C-alpha cells in the first residue's frame, strides 16, 4: 500500500466516529481476552478466580469489591465474564473463517468454470437455504451434541459452519461472474494461463475486499447465534464460564439478582456491536466513492 493510499485509508477510518468506536471496542476486548487466556496475566484483569466459591459473599450486588456482583455460589461475575471472553471471541473467527474458506473455494470455481459444476454447487447450497438457519443449526448441534457432551462446542461450531458456507458460496459466485468479464482476466486467458492460476492470482484477490466486509459483519451475528447455543446448553460444559450460558443461569434470579444475566448480556451486545461497526468501517475503506472524495 502506497503512502497516499494509506493516508486515505486512515482518513476514512478516523473520520468516522462509529468506525473508531467499533475498532476501539474490538481492540479492548481482544486485549482483555489475551490477558485472561494466559494465567500469569489473568490477575491483571480480575481480582478473583472465575470458579472461586465464596458462599459468604453470595448474591452480592455490584460494588467496588465485585464490579458485576456475585452469583448464588459467591463467584465473581466480572471474573467469569472475563474468563469467558477467550472462548466467545474465538468462536466467530473459527466459524466465519471456515465458512469463508469453504464458500469462497466452491463459489469461486462454480462462478468461473460454470456448467455442471456451478449447477451442482448451487443446488447443494439451495438445500441449506431451504431451512431457517437458526433452526437447522440448533437441530444439528443438538443431535451431534447428544452423542458426546465433551465435544458440544465443536459440534456447535460445525453446525454454524454448515449453515454459514452457502451464503459465501453465492456471494463469491456472483462476484466472480462479474470479475471474469473484466479485461485483465480476458488478457490472462488470452496469454495462455491455466484456469487455476487465473483464479488464484487474478480472481480471488479481487474478491478479498467484499468477503472481508461481509465476514466482519457476520462475526457479530455468529457470536450471538453461538450464545443462543450456549443458552440452551449446547456450548462448553460447566463450570467453564460462557456468556450465553451465564445469561441463562441468571434468568432464574430475575428480577432480584438482575446482575447475573445483565452484565454477560451487556458484554455480548457491546462485542457484537463492535463487530458491526468495524464491518461498516471496513466497507467504507473499500468503497471507491469515498476514496475518490479524498
pLDDT digit string, tens, across residues 97-144: 999 999 999 999 899 888 888 999 999 999 888 888 888 888 888 887
Q: What end-to-end distance do the CA atoms of the chain give, in Å?
A: 16
List C-alpha distances in Å: 162 to 65, 199, 247. 44, 25, 26
Cβ neighbours of residue 189 under 8 Å, at least 6 residues apart? 198
Range with the lowest mean pLDDT among 69-78, 151-160, 162-171, 217-226?
151-160
pTM score, whole prediction: 0.88
Cell matching residue 30: 481482544
pLDDT tens for residues 248-288? 989 888 888 899 999 999 999 999 999 999 888 888 777 65
Element (H, E) at 204: helix 204-231
Three-class SS of residue 70?
strand
> How much of the chain is in helix, strand and coil states, percent to nearest 5?
75, 0, 25
Cell numbers that stand for 75 in this block: 463467584
Q: What pLDDT, on a 0 to 100 scale, did the predictor assign at position 148?
A: 64
Task: Give the confidence band of 294 by pLDDT, cuts at 50, 70, 90.
Answer: very low
Helix (H) or strand (E) holding 83: helix 77-113
Burial class (CB in 10 A: 0-12, 13-18, 19+), 210: middle
The CATH number covering residue 120 comes to 1.10.3720.10
Show the domain range for 180: 3-292
**pLDDT tier, 146 (very low <50, low <70, confident <90, very high otherwise):** low
Residue whose entry in the numeric block shows the C-alpha cell 469463508: 100
Number of domains within the chain: 1
Whole-angstrom Cα distance, residue 230 to residue 242? Answer: 7
Q: How far is CA 2 from the centre of its chain?
A: 30
Amino acid at each position: 500500500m502506497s503512502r497516499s493510499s494509506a493516508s486515505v485509508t486512515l482518513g476514512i477510518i478516523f473520520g468516522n466516529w462509529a468506525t473508531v468506536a467499533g475498532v476501539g471496542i474490538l481492540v479492548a476486548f481482544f486485549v482483555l481476552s489475551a490477558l485472561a487466556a494466559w494465567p500469569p496475566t489473568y490477575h491483571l484483569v480480575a481480582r478473583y478466580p472465575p470458579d472461586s466459591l465464596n458462599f459468604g459473599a453470595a448474591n452480592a450486588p455490584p460494588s467496588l469489591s465485585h464490579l458485576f456482583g456475585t452469583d448464588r455460589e459467591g463467584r465473581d461475575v466480572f471474573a467469569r465474564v472475563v474468563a469467558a471472553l477467550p472462548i466467545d471471541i474465538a468462536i466467530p473467527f473459527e466459524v466465519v473463517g471456515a465458512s469463508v474458506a469453504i464458500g469462497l473455494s466452491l463459489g469461486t470455481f462454480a462462478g468461473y468454470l460454470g456448467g455442471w459444476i456451478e449447477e451442482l454447487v448451487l443446488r447443494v447450497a439451495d438445500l441449506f437455504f431451504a431451512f431457517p438457519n437458526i433452526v437447522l443449526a440448533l437441530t444439528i448441534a443438538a443431535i451431534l451434541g447428544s452423542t458426546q457432551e465433551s465435544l458440544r462446542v465443536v459440534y456447535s461450531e460445525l453446525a454454524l459452519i454448515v449453515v454459514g458456507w452457502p451464503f459465501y458460496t453465492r456471494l463469491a459466485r456472483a462476484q466472480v461472474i462479474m470479475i471474469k468479464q473484466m479485461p485483465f482476466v480476458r488478457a490472462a486467458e488470452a496469454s495462455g494461463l491455466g484456469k487455476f492460476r487465473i483464479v488464484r492470482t487474478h480472481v480471488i484477490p479481487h474478491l478479498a475486499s467484499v468477503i472481508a466486509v461481509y465476514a466482519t459483519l457476520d462475526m457479530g451475528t455468529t457470536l450471538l447465534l453461538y450464545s443462543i447455543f450456549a443458552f440452551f446448553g449446547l456450548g462448553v460444559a460447566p463450570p467453564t464460564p460462557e456468556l450465553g450460558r451465564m445469561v441463562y443461569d441468571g434468568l432464574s434470579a430475575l428480577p432480584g439478582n438482575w446482575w447475573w444475566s445483565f452484565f454477560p448480556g451487556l458484554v455480548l451486545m457491546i462485542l457484537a456491536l463492535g463487530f458491526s461497526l468495524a464491518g461498516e468501517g471496513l466497507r467504507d475503506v473499500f468503497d471507491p466513492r469515498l476514496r475518490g472524495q479524498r
